[in-house]
Amino acid sequence: MFKHSRELEIEWGDCDAAGIVFYPRYFAMFDASTAYLLEAAMGMKKAEWTKHFDILGIPMVDTGASFKVPSKYGDVIRIESEVSAIGRTSFEIRHKVFKGDVLAIEAHEKRVWVAGNPEDPKSIAAKPLPEDLIARLRAESPTEPS
């Protein structure tokens, strides 16, 4: 399945009073990593693919993480993101965070492909994943950092 990897440096604002990354910041990093994975798979930025496919977004419906090694200001980490499952209207991503060669975090998320609900304009509704997107997400991919 499709994979994407990126490196980033931990910024001062990512850290808590103990000097380590405040755990919700990792979920923001995972959110961006998922967007970058889809960008790499589709060859277009998120602002473009939401318009192209006429969707509102890809809200998360399940997530979790196992934190093994903390990171602190100035550390460089690598986030490896991979599609782990594809359903009719949803997909799952597995994230692994490495500090050097050490596995620091394992995380997962499930997202739903959503658009405006034609039956209720004030709500959203799941929409089937486009076949061409499914094919791209099932493909092997380069894993070089972005």
3-state secondary structure of 19: coil
By percentage, how much of the chain surpasses pLDDT 90?
87
Domains of the chain in start order, with CATH, are 3-138 (3.10.129.10)
pLDDT of residue 118: 85
**Mean pLDDT for the chain overall:** 93
Helices 23-42 and 131-138 cross at an angle (nearest 10°) of: 110
Distance CA 82, CA 40 (A): 12
Residue 145 has pLDDT above 90, yes or no: no
- Residue 16 annotated to the active site: yes
Q: Active-site residue among 14, 16, 101, 120?
A: 16
Tell me which residue has tokens 């959503």: 114
Distance CA 98, CA 79 (A): 7
User: Which pTM value belongs to this model?
Assistant: 0.89
